Amino acid sequence: MSRMRSPRPSVRRLVAALVLAQSLTGTAAFAQYRPPPMTESQRLVREGETAQVDASTAATSGDKKRAETKYRKALELFEKALAAEATSVPAAAGLGAVGLALNEHERVASLVAPVYAANPESLELAYPLGISLFKLKRYEEALPVLQQVSVANQPEHLLVHYYLGNYYALALQDGEATVAELQAYLAQRPDKLAGNDYQIHELLGRGHLLRNDPAAARLSFERAQVGRTESVSIQMGLGVVLEMEGKMAEAMALLEGLTVRFPQVPEAKERLGRLLLESNDLPRAEVQALALVKLGGTAASHMLLGDVRMAQARPAEAETEYRKVLDLAPGDVGAQIAVGMALQKQGRNEEAISFLESAVQSGADSLSLWSTLGSVNRRAGRYARAVEVHRRVVEMAPKQALGHVLLGADHFATGQWDLTIEDYTQALKLEPEHADAKKWLARALANRARDRAGNGRVDDAVRDLRRAYDLERTSAMARRLGAVLLQQGSHAEARKVMEQGVQLPEAAWREHLVLGYARLGSGAPKEALESFEKAGQMAPDLAAVSDVSAGSALAEMELGQVDAALKRLTEPGTSKRALEVTRANLSRVYLRRAFARLEAGDGAGARQDVESAERAGLGGNQSELARLSAFAKGLAQTEEGRFGDAGNLFKRALTPTPGWARPNTRQLVDAFLLYRGDKLPQARKTLTAAARRPIPEQAQFTATLTSALHRREAERAYSSGNMRAAEKAFKAALALSPDSVALQHNLACVAYRGKKANDAVAVWKKLEGTVPQASLNLGIDAQERRRDMTQAVDSYRRYLASGAAPRAAAVREWKERLQQIYGLAEPATAPTPNPEPSSATASDTTP
């Protein structure tokens, strides 16, 4: 109901009421001077003026009776003069002036108006006519006449500023105009009238309140109060200033003081009661409301008490009060609505509806009433009638958002999201800043998105939630959008949304959890782990903790912290999501480690991981995961030299081609298997077939395998003494990687045995320091071919000093034997890595 009838009357209304009260008290009359007439009419006018002067004098001397008699006489004379000359401006002006003094407004209005119509520029006609019309409450006629006088700004028409100031404040609630008129008054008023300035300042205060300028208002009210006994209306004005400044406690304290010092003033009690009700201080609000009713059972007092009873959840008593309001002010729309609401609160839906229906039928064609009727129907579950009535509201106020907002609520209540969204969208077209329309449009979109995501319409859900998040920037809305983006696979965008979402107020563990998954999905496991840690710190219960832990496990899995990940996954706790994560990922983590171990050459470790994955469950023998597991096992067996078993597993895992395999994985792995089984020509043939359709991610492996095949062939040919074949194969390998020093070195070995010893020695010398075997071979050459034992020993020593010497034990014996035979001691300065004699490390066999 907040939009239709606030429990706290607006400042505007309060000011208007106060101004009305004021305008009834302050009146002042000002004497007018007229020159004598020449004609009959002029003569009568002069006589009238004489009587008017007498009356003025008598009034000044305090002889009211004589003043009245003289004014009456003057009035009679002016009327006669006007009868003698119907167009006489002086006669009409005199009549007007005297008529005002006698409060004969009807007579002034009817007699002066025709003369004024013929002389619209005459201010002496305009002034009394305008005042009389104003006093007769014919404001619309009075206003242009008074404005004419005000613009002329004549000192003798000073009072017109006061009347207009009142009217602007009362009827038009135009603060700027009010302030302008009153300031014009203050600028002109003679000193002898300064005593009444307090009234002007108080009214100015109201004007400033209407201008939303509490500081200026306070100044005016304070000026009004200075040097005078405490005035309730001025103090209440100051109270409104405090309200406007948001100082509610001070405002209430001020009002409370007034209720104590002026117990008979109802306005202070009512206002205090409203403020207490608003701040939900029901006991004290009740005290004020009851006191107000006791003071005099006005409609406002019963309304307040009714509102207090509603807030106290005592709707039956509230109804009684509201009905008293209707007794005092029959047809009061606010009270009718209130009765309807009170009935509904008592569960008397049908009565509420029929009450409001009959109110509507009896012709109370108020927007609020129709709105309430519809909403009461909605709350009673009569959605069709609610929609029907609220459509009427749309027809009544087609330029307002109100009707659409109400329809939105009706459709929201029935979960008709499409219609709801349409309603609120329409409302926002009319009032783009309508806060409720924005809020509930966002919620309706969120509801529709949830339904759509549940029905597989993820893209549509994303669209809805993007719009909802634009309307409602809350962490919860960010979470919904982030979650549905994750479901869509848009990890990067989900991450962007959630990075912002966790910065918003009220971001909690769930928001950090979704951010964690978004970071994980967008390839930032380290940052993901941080998010999960944060979520863990905020987790409210054990289920949440295990939820978060599952996320951490996945991040750790990505970071290669497999043991930590496995520990978490094997103890998933109680959360449903954690169990889901474990079910989907535990065997996967084992398989990942299996592949990592295979890449490191650890076949046995890989096989153990595959067995663990099998135990964790692979979803049936024919599942993709089971076949991936079989594939990993095959690779592990290959690594362990069980080529036959491996071949069978590859066949099983890759027929037909599973989703995880590349189109040529079968051929490629067969080539690898043949290579590891030393079946080199077949391996080469299979590899060529596999590489027929190149896949970028395979380029490196294919090249490496091709090269490895050449090298293996070369090594075999070399050891069997077939130097021609060895040379060919090494050259082929070298063509693939011309910078390989190992291949250059090996090709030199082939050359050496092909009677090109000097060439080979040149190459080895070049490669010494890079390839340890070059030193070894230089030593062999020195010993075997050149018989230069000193050089041989030096070369062997360099080979041994290179650290990573695979033949260290044998070569150390060679070196030491030569040293003993030829008396070649270690160089004095050279550091000896092993100063002990050879016996400790020497090979147990002769070379």
Partner 1 sequence: MISPRSLLLGLALLCAWVPAAGAAPKKATLGVFLPTTLTDGQQRFQFAEALAAKLSAATGRPTAAKSFARYEDFSKAVGEGIVDFAVLDSWAAVQLGSKATPVALAPLSGETAQRWAIVSTSRGSVKDLAGKRLAIVKGAGAADPKFVTNVVLAGDLDAKKHFKLTPVPNVESALKMLEAKGAEAALVPLAHVPEGVRVLYRSSKVPGAVLVGMRGDEEDLTENLKKLEPVAPFGAFVSIQGKELEDLRKLLQSGPPRRQPVLVEVPALRVDTRAFLEPAVLQPVLPSFADALDVSAEQPDD
Binders in 787-846 for partner 1, by CB under 8 A: 806-807, 813-814, 817-818, 820-823, 837-839, 842-846
SS3 call for 55 = helix
CB-nearer residue toward partner 1: 31 or 397: 397
Instruction: Determine the Cα–Cα distance for residues 353 and 375; give it in Å rounded to an integer.
Output: 10
CA distances 227 to 195, 223, 240, Å, are 11, 9, 21
Only segment of 238-246, 537-545, 609-617, 666-674 that touches partner 1 (CB under 8 A): 666-674
Which positions from 43 through 72 interact with partner 1, judged by CB under 8 A?
none
Is residue 479 involved in binding partner 1 (CB under 8 A)? yes
Q: What HEC string does 129-148 produce? A: HHHHHHHCCCHHHHHHHHHH
Which positions from 383 through 422 interact with partner 1, judged by CB under 8 A?
405-406, 408-409, 412-413
Is residue 577 involved in binding partner 1 (CB under 8 A)? yes
Shortest approach of partner 1 to residue 419 CB, angstroms? 13
Contacts of 237 (CB under 8 A, 6+ apart): 18, 202, 205, 206, 209, 217, 221, 224
* Under 8 Å between Cβ of 667 and 690: yes
Which positions from 706 through 735 interact with partner 1, judged by CB under 8 A?
708, 711, 715, 718
Which positions from 251 through 290 interact with partner 1, judged by CB under 8 A?
none
Instruction: Determine the Cα–Cα distance for residues 799 and 793; give it in Å rounded to an integer.
Output: 10
Shortest approach of partner 1 to residue 112 CB, angstroms? 51
Contacts of 394 (CB under 8 A, 6+ apart): 403, 404, 407
> Which amino acid, residue 422?
E
CB-nearer residue toward partner 1: 59 or 427: 427
**Of the candidates 676, 679, 756, 766, which one interacts with partner 1 according to CB under 8 A?**
676
Contacts of 94 (CB under 8 A, 6+ apart): 32, 34, 45, 48, 49, 52, 74, 77, 78, 81
Only segment of 87-95, 263-271, 315-323, 476-484 that touches partner 1 (CB under 8 A): 476-484
CB-nearer residue toward partner 1: 160 or 514: 514
CB-nearer residue toward partner 1: 255 or 409: 409
* Under 8 Å between Cβ of 244 and 254: no
Is residue 766 involved in binding partner 1 (CB under 8 A)? no
Q: What are phi and psi of 497, to 5 degrees?
A: -60, -45
CB-nearer residue toward partner 1: 292 or 565: 565
Instruction: Determine the Cα–Cα distance for residues 290 and 192; give it in Å rounded to an integer.
Output: 45
Only segment of 57-65, 143-151, 211-219, 752-760 that touches partner 1 (CB under 8 A): 752-760
Shortest approach of partner 1 to residue 694 CB, angstroms? 11
Which positions from 625 through 664 interact with partner 1, judged by CB under 8 A?
628, 631, 635, 638-639, 659-662
CB-nearer residue toward partner 1: 273 or 516: 516
Shortest approach of partner 1 to residue 665 CB, angstroms? 5
**Number of residues binding to partner 1, judged by CB under 8 A:** 116
**Of the candidates 21, 118, 187, 600, which one interacts with partner 1 according to CB under 8 A?**
600
* Under 8 Å between Cβ of 265 and 255: no
Shortest approach of partner 1 to residue 430 CB, angstroms? 16
CB-nearer residue toward partner 1: 32 or 775: 775
CB-nearer residue toward partner 1: 615 or 785: 785
Shortest approach of partner 1 to residue 595 CB, angstroms? 4
Is residue 522 involved in binding partner 1 (CB under 8 A)? no
* Under 8 Å between Cβ of 329 and 335: yes
**Of the candidates 140, 697, 739, 836, which one interacts with partner 1 according to CB under 8 A?**
697
**Of the candidates 22, 32, 585, 795, which one interacts with partner 1 according to CB under 8 A?**
585
Only segment of 169-177, 263-271, 349-357, 594-602 that touches partner 1 (CB under 8 A): 594-602
CA distances 237 to 14, 207, 303, Å, are 9, 11, 22
Give the CA dihedral 368, 373, 378, 380, nearest 10 degrees: 140
List own/partner pairs for 221-227 with CB under 8 A and 24 or more apart: 223/197, 223/198, 224/198, 224/199, 225/198
Instruction: Determine the Cα–Cα distance for residues 85 and 447; give it in Å rounded to an integer.
Output: 82
Instruction: Determine the Cα–Cα distance for residues 715 and 744; give it in Å rounded to an integer.
Output: 13
**Of the candidates 486, 507, 566, 626, which one interacts with partner 1 according to CB under 8 A?**
486
Instruction: Determine the Cα–Cα distance for residues 514 and 520; give it in Å rounded to an integer.
Output: 10
